Amino acid sequence: MREIIRPTILMCPPDYYGIEYEINPWMNRDTPSDSARSMQQWQTLHDLLRELNVKICLMDPVKGLPDLVFTANAGLVWKNKIFLATFRHPARQGETPIDNAWFTANGFETITLPVGLNFEGAGDALFCGDTLYGGYLVRSDASSIQWLGSELNCRAIPLQLVDDRFYHLDTCFCPLDATSAIYFPHAFDDYARRALQQIPLLIEVNEKEAARFACNAVVVGRHVVLNEGCPLLEASLSKHGFIPHSTPLDEFLKAGGSAKCLTLRLDGEEAAT
């Protein structure tokens, strides 16, 4: 297994990012992205992470795959393995061979889920402590989360998502460390909300800031990088000893993404034990 000293994140430049189809409520081909602003916002996020001592690995963008920029969906990284995404929508299925090639070339063992299981990577599978929480219904399947739990020999809890705006788990839930997380409760059904209550510290995000994708944040130690326009969450994070860093990511909200979606941690999330 490779020794990785610095926090390491995979990103993909938004050279070909755009709203070319509509597969979630945020996407509207009549509201196109601004290419220059998209690149500027992506670069600012990239540079901010570098300032936090993150090593950035880059995947080459591919024309015709505008959502390849959202590397979080490539798969679930576990040590030197990656469980590759099996996308529900045909528009994104072309990303998987590209992801597979990158991870293979960079020394990872690539694993594909059984045929028939939909799974959208770290967008729907997040560790908090030794528990794997998995969002399901909109994009990924509950059975995919259960299968991953069996393969990883860990407790896995599928969480049903009930608001199509929050179509991936990482749009409404973000583990901060092994015992704390932020979440938007109304994105989940009753059972999921009860299941999340086992996390000792749950910081609730209100609907206005949830719609800014406040929960779609990148955690680096005690630093939390998130979209601008979430002052209440920033205050809550500071109160609990975290250091928030806001950066504009409105161009990516047009596709239903933000900071977390644009990154994939390669050396293990801060919240995993």
168 is catalytic: yes
Angle at 252 between CA 177 and CA 250, to 5 degrees: 95
Element (H, E) at 134: strand 131-136
Q: Which of 172, 174, 230, 261 is catalytic?
A: 261
The SS3 call for residue 176 is strand
Q: Tell me the C-alpha distance between 118 and 52, whole Å.
A: 34
Q: Tell me the C-alpha distance between 134 and 119, whole Å.
A: 10
For 27, counting Cβ atoms within 10 Å of its Cβ (0-12 exposed, 13-18 middle, 19+ buried), the class is: middle
The conformation of residue 113, written as its DSSP 8-state character, comes to P
128 is catalytic: no
Long-range contact pairs involving 85-88 (C-beta distance under 8 Å, separation at least 24): 85/119, 85/120, 85/121, 86/112, 86/113, 86/117, 86/118, 86/119, 86/120, 86/144, 87/118, 87/120, 87/139, 88/118, 88/120, 88/139, 88/140
Tokens (6 digits) for 94: 């072309």
Q: Which of 12, 46, 128, 168 is catalytic?
A: 168
Active site residues: 168, 261
